[in-house]
A and B are shown apart, each in its own frame.
Chain A
């Protein structure tokens, strides 16, 4: 069964460093998303991406964050200068038809900022 894959599964970084989280969505999907879950808290929307551009972003998704689909298969989330409060599990999701269909989530990338 096709699945969304995320790498790395866990990354530890120093505060102020740049981090890139990678996602390979399901191949025929057109809608892509990043969500995050701080330990013990609820899952929060970060950004949605369709037709090679951001369609919506949350207030969390400030200038330190960016997304890219560099080669038609990968979908990356970059955090330019990490802060302690960026420590969280980051989930990528993809969908064939947005929320009208089903979002398929990856298993997440755990980011720990020291």
Chain B
């Protein structure tokens, strides 16, 4: 079935540690790929997106993501997490020729001092 999968429901890291949030998709063609962050009581904010070209994309707040076609993955990374990064992170896709964003189930990130 076509889907966006975020295997980790909840991740806890220490402040300063590195972070990788996983995202896999299962569609016939490579969709457009996005990562959004949702802080408590806030709307969703775009961190970064991938349409084509360089498979390593840089985003806001020090985040980056790497598209790997062979693994159908678009994992989000940050070398050193800050306490303010605690939030819910959503991977999302847009299929070519559609006008809807399809979200994964989200990964809740908790950061310990």
Tell me, yes or no, whether B46 is within 8 Å of chain A by CB: yes
Q: Chain A contacts of B42 at CB under 8 A?
A: 107
Inter-chain residue pair count (beta carbon < 8 A)? 52
Residues A35 and B101 in contact, CB atoms below 8 Å apart: yes
Main secondary structure of the interface of B (DSSP, over half): strand
Contact A103:B46 (CB < 8 A) given known A48-B100, A98-B99: yes
* A45 in contact with B104 (CB, 8 Å): no
Asked if B43 and A58 make an inter-chain contact with CB atoms under 8 angstroms apart, the answer reads no
- What band does the interface of chain B fall in when counting residues whose beta carbon is under 8 Å from A? 20 to 34
Interface of chain A residues 53 through 105 with chain B (CB within 8 A): 55-56, 58, 91, 93, 98-100, 102-105
Residues 72-97 of B, flagged 1 when their CB comes within 8 A of A and 0 if not, give: 00000000000000000010101000
A106 at the interface (CB under 8 A from B): yes
Q: B36 to chain A: closest CB distance in Å?
A: 8
A residues sitting closer than 8 Å to B (CB atoms) are 4, 33, 35, 41-45, 48, 50, 55-56, 58, 91, 93, 98-100, 102-108
